[in-house]
């Protein structure tokens, strides 16, 4: 080992995004983040993931914060560290496909407000859905990382992953991430996968997984030994369970090896000390449920992400049909197969899960088909790795011609229209994008913001035609 060339592993810290999204429903506020970022900035992380995913929605909806303002504050504080975000390709941070002009504008504004690295993925791994955002990111001088939604199934052979990696390199992306949202990648499979990807491409490889099934830190070790360049970890008070492996543990694991990250454990300990009392508060309030901290082996048995399992349970509870749980779990892979065997990640996980529940509850498969299932089978989300079950597709779409082009090609530019719709609320350019993504939630936030401003400065009310009582 000692004669090997040094190849320090990079560490992406997820505490400000995925870790709190996975454990406490994305409820960490900017105020809770700011006091520690000066220390975090001294660690020497490869990057800090701090934006995107559910953070945007949760900021507006629950925390009554402007997500753009959070990003600017983090940018001010992180003087030496790259800031990273997660983006769902043509869906941006929302749940539908947006027109290219909205996607381009969103990427431009994300980078202008402080993002360095954009991790972009598509639920179906349909690279056409990533073209616009990758191009925009590169144009704005950002680092475009394409994430592959990792999943298992007949279609997902090593050749499939190698081929897609080559295509990603051809698209002009700067790096590749294996995004294992369910914790399905087991250690020795990680060796195979990373080795294969390294053969196929010269792009840096990053691995993102969750601790859900209990194997994640071993998976990181095997992946790094096989050449993985960067891993995603969370500082220990927000690690494990449905979150990532602990930063300190991985740093210690590689210490003194060619993969030594060089990060300072004393500094990491101080950062952990900052978050630990918060964890206690979240545990006491019930925001952090000890249930999500255990090992959930069912995720490996059923190949279903942890979040999807809990969604199925709550849907069945609502329908007073909890006894159908096992039946639904057996139905999920069948629906997934009919739907072209997509990875199960937002939004495909919700689409497949809800349809599986309906199939079981109705006592007849596809007696009822959801709007979203129909859209998927109509090609509105893009192309799946395998063809749809023709019979099921026919049942859902009838004689409608399925979409086979890039779905966004069917969407007219929409930025001007959106801007006109929300003009009365606009206080900054970025507000247009908040509104484009979450119209109702953003509108409520804008009204709240205005009311707050009026409270602080009653003259604002005058400027707004005296709409607010003094």
| Residue placing its CB nearer to Co ion in the complex, 18 or 122 | 18
347 prior amide bond cis, ω within 30: yes
| Residue placing its CB nearer to Co ion in the complex, 18 or 341 | 18
- Closest residue to Co ion, based on beta-carbon distance: 18
Instruction: Using alpha carbons only, give the angle 117, 71, 231 rounded to the nearest 5 degrees.
Output: 35
- Nearest to residue 226, comparing CAs of 194, 262, 202? 194
Judged by CB under 5 A, which stretch of 13-21, 277-285, 303-311, 361-369 contacts Co ion?
13-21
Judged by CB under 5 A, which stretch of 14-22, 59-67, 126-134, 428-436 contacts Co ion?
14-22
Judged by CB under 5 A, which stretch of 18-26, 217-225, 268-276, 306-314 contacts Co ion?
18-26
In the complex, the smallest distance separating the C-beta of residue 205 from Co ion, rounded to whole angstroms, is: 16
In the complex, the smallest distance separating the C-beta of residue 161 from Co ion, rounded to whole angstroms, is: 18
In the complex, the smallest distance separating the C-beta of residue 14 from Co ion, rounded to whole angstroms, is: 8
Q: Is 232 in the site for Co ion (CB under 5 A)?
A: no
* The two three-digit tokens of residue 390, written as one number: 């023709």
CA distance 66 to 442: 9
Judged by CB under 5 A, which stretch of 12-20, 121-129, 263-271, 320-328 contacts Co ion?
12-20
Instruction: Give alpha helix (H) positions in 25-178.
Output: 30-41, 55-58, 67-77, 100-112, 131-139, 158-170
Q: Is 65 in the site for Co ion (CB under 5 A)?
A: no
Judged by CB under 5 A, which stretch of 16-24, 121-129, 212-220, 260-268 contacts Co ion?
16-24
Q: Is 18 in the site for Co ion (CB under 5 A)?
A: yes
- Nearest to residue 95, comparing CAs of 418, 397, 348, 335? 348
* The two three-digit tokens of residue 269, written as one number: 């300990």
In the complex, the smallest distance separating the C-beta of residue 121 from Co ion, rounded to whole angstroms, is: 10
| Residue placing its CB nearer to Co ion in the complex, 121 or 435 | 121
Rounded to the nearest 10 degrees, the angle between the axes of helix 430-437 and helix 100-112 is: 130
Size of site (CB under 5 A) for Co ion: 1
User: How is the chain split among helix, strand and coil, in percent rounded to 5?
Assistant: 55, 10, 35
In the complex, the smallest distance separating the C-beta of residue 212 from Co ion, rounded to whole angstroms, is: 10
Hunting for tokens 């009392």 — which residue is that? 277
DSSP letter string, 227-296: T--EEEEB-GGG-STTSPPBHHHHHHHHTTSTT-----HHHHHHHHHHHHHHHHHHHHHTSS-GGGGS--
| Residue placing its CB nearer to Co ion in the complex, 18 or 229 | 18
Q: What is the length of the chain?
A: 470
CA distance 33 to 280: 16
| Residue placing its CB nearer to Co ion in the complex, 18 or 372 | 18
| Residue placing its CB nearer to Co ion in the complex, 54 or 396 | 54
In the complex, the smallest distance separating the C-beta of residue 22 from Co ion, rounded to whole angstroms, is: 7
In the complex, the smallest distance separating the C-beta of residue 209 from Co ion, rounded to whole angstroms, is: 8
Contacting positions for Co ion (CB under 5 A): 18
């Amino acid at each position: 080992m000692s004669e090997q060339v040094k190849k320090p592993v990079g560490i992406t810290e997820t505490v400000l995004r995925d870790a709190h999204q996975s454990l406490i429903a994305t409820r960490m506020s900017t105020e809770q983040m700011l006091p520690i970022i000066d220390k975090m900035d001294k660690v020497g992380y490869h990057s800090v993931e701090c934006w995107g995913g559910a953070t945007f929605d949760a900021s507006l909806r629950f925390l009554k914060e402007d997500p753009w303002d959070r990003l600017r504050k983090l940018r001010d504080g992180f003087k030496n560290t790259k800031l990273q975000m997660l983006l769902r390709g043509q869906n941006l941070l929302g749940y539908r496909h947006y027109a290219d002009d909205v996607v381009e504008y969103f990427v431009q504004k994300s980078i202008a407000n402080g993002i360095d690295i954009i991790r972009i993925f598509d639920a179906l791994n349909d690279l056409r859905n990533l073209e616009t955002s990758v191009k925009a990111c590169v144009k704005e001088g950002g680092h475009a990382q394409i994430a592959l939604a990792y999943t298992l199934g007949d279609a997902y052979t090593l050749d499939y992953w190698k081929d897609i990696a080559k295509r990603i390199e051809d698209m002009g992306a700067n790096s590749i991430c294996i995004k294992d949202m369910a914790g399905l990648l087991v250690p020795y499979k990680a060796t195979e996968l990373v080795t294969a990807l390294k053969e196929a491409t010269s792009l840096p490889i990053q691995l993102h997984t969750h601790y859900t099934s209990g194997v994640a830190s071993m998976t990181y070790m095997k992946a790094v030994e096989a050449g993985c360049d960067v891993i995603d970890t969370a500082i220990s008070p927000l690690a494990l369970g449905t979150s990532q492996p602990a930063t300190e543990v991985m740093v210690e694991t590689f210490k003194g090896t060619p993969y030594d990250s060089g990060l300072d454990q004393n500094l990491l300990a101080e950062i952990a000390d900052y978050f630990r009392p918060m964890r206690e508060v979240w545990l006491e309030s019930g925001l952090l449920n000890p249930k999500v901290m255990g090992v959930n082996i069912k995720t490996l048995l059923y190949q279903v992400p942890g979040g999807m399992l809990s969604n199925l349970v709550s849907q069945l509870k609502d329908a007073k049909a909890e006894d159908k749980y096992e039946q639904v779990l057996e139905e999920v892979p069948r629906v997934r197969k009919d739907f072209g065997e997509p990875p199960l990640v937002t939004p495909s996980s919700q689409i497949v899960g809800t349809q599986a529940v309906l199939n079981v509850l109705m006592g007849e498969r596809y007696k009822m088909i959801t709007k979203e299932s129909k859209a998927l089978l109509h090609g509105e989300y893009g192309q799946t790795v395998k063809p749809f079950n023709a019979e099921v597709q026919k049942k859902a779409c009838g004689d409608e011609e399925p979409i086979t082009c890039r779905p966004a090609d069917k969407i007219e530019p929409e930025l001007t229209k959106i801007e006109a719709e929300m003009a009365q609320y606009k206080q900054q350019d970025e507000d247009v994008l908040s509104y484009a993504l979450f119209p109702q939630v953003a509108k409520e936030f804008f009204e709240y913001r205005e009311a707050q401003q009026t409270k602080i400065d009653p003259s604002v009310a005058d400027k707004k035609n005296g709409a607010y009582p003094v």
